[in-house]
Amino acid sequence: MAINKKTAVITGGAQGIGLCLVKEFLRTGYNVAAADIDAEAGAELKASLKAGCGLLFLKCDVSSEKDVRLFMEAAAKKFKSIDVLVNNAGIGINRPVEELSLNEWNRVIGVNLTGAFLCSRQAAKHLRTTRGNIINIASTRGLMSEKNTEAYSASKGGILSLTHALAVSLGPDIRVNSISPGWIEVSDWKKKNDFKVPVHSQADREQHPAGRVGTPYDIAEAALFLASKKAGFITGQNFVIDGGMTKKMIYV
């Protein structure tokens, strides 16, 4: 660990896209403070990396104001600065709207949307000092929907609006952008008990104009770009990374 390096704070960092984000930010020279509610997955993350690699992992429920405050304080104390915040933590509860309970609705909104707000608010004072940036992981479900995704789609639509609102409120000190992934295969980026080898049919691949299903690396590369000085004139924007699916007209 070197305290003069830049620091990225990444939520939902123990599995899926978040795990790839953590490893890629570490690989490119960042210190990384990673939060996840799954302590087992977090332990596997730490075990997979060399000691002294620049990782801090803490169990954190991003819908909890107290948890978020303690996590950000720990990250700032250990690494002395925060340069990038990636609001990646997210869950989905998909069921028919008539059967979706208020508690389930509130849990999804709490993690996916309120969590991004809480983390952004807590990190803002640090990001102003470093003239850093926030990257929100939204979803193409904020732009289009499948059946029975009301809570998830609403939360991701909220992320899109939160992104441009924060960009206006926090600029010019802090840039804020979002990434909307489409189908990103994460079954091989899970903890050991949930790990699966991906299997995609020809139809799975060919339905994408890009000719394949996405990988977490597709999202991590975009996040690294947005975090860099090369993206210094980009703020308030949403980047759709879905192999072209949202531009494809589909008729039955």
- Cβ partners under 8 Å of residue 17, min gap 6: 88, 137, 181, 184, 186, 189, 216, 219, 220
Closest CA to 16 of 139, 200, 150: 139
Look at phi and psi of residue 38 and say left if phi exceeds 0, alpha if psi is from -120 to 50, else beta.
beta
Distance separating alpha carbons of residues 104 and 99, to the nearest angstrom: 10
- Cβ partners under 8 Å of residue 63, min gap 6: 107, 110, 111, 114, 115, 118
Closest CA to 34 of 81, 74, 90, 80: 74
Q: Which of 30, 152, 217, 251 is catalytic?
A: 152
The single-letter code of the amino acid at 132 is G
- To the query of whether residue 217 is one of the catalytic residues in this protein, the response is no
Distance separating alpha carbons of residues 233 and 231, to the nearest angstrom: 6
Q: With the C-alpha atoms ordered 25, 29, 35, 38, is the resulting torsion angle positive or negative?
A: positive
Place of tokens 């990103």: 184
Residues identified as active-site = 152
